């Protein structure tokens, strides 16, 4: 979608994604090597009573569904920032994540040919609990 095709308040629901324990452990080993993400025996003794997905993996899983949805295709020029990341509840193996995205702000460029949009992501689980929220600013092409 081009910048002119977006409207503040517009919402998109993404396809669900299942969290797989093997993927949680492998992601953690490579990108977030904390024991609560990769050592089931250690994690059972902690406050979460089992391993949990890295918050960065949670964002990445839903971000992939956003890109796969094709809502913003070649109109994307660049991401310009991520703000207000909140990890509200733990994400466990076998959880199903559902992303909902809302257009929060649109700013056409005074130079023309592009504009900036802010999208708010809310990631929920199969129990309808909000687990993660964040906002991202994206530079988009205009139709002109």
Which residue ranges form the domains of the chain, and what is each CATH number?
A: 3-141 (3.10.129.10)
**How many CB atoms sit inside 10 A of residue 78's CB?**
9
State the Cα–Cα distance between residues 112 and 130, nearest whole angstrom. 37
Closest CA to 28 of 48, 46, 53: 53
Q: So what's the pLDDT on residue 68?
A: 96
State the Cα–Cα distance between residues 94 and 47, nearest whole angstrom. 18
Q: So what's the pLDDT on residue 109?
A: 86
Q: So what's the pLDDT on residue 60?
A: 98
Closest CA to 12 of 74, 107, 99, 96: 99
Give the pTM: 0.93
Per-residue confidence in pLDDT tens, the chain, 144 aa: 999 999 999 999 999 999 999 999 999 999 999 999 999 999 999 999 999 999 999 999 999 999 999 999 899 999 999 999 999 999 999 999 999 999 999 998 888 899 999 999 999 999 999 999 999 999 999 987
């Amino acid at each position: 979608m081009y910048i002119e095709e977006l409207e503040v308040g517009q919402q998109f629901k993404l396809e669900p994604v299942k969290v797989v324990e093997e993927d949680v452990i492998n992601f953690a080993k490579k990108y977030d090597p904390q024991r609560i993400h990769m050592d089931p025996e250690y994690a059972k003794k902690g406050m979460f009573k089992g391993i949990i997905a890295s918050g960065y993996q949670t964002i990445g899983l839903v971000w992939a569904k956003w890109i796969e949805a094709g809502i913003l295709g070649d109109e994307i020029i660049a991401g310009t920032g991520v703000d207000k990341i909140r990890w509200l509840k733990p994400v466990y193996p076998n959880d199903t994540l559902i992303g909902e995205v809302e257009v929060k702000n649109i700013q056409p460029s005074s130079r023309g040919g592009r504009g900036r949009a802010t999208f708010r992501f809310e990631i929920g689980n199969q129990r309808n609990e909000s687990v993660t929220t964040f906002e991202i600013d994206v530079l988009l092409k205009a139709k002109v």
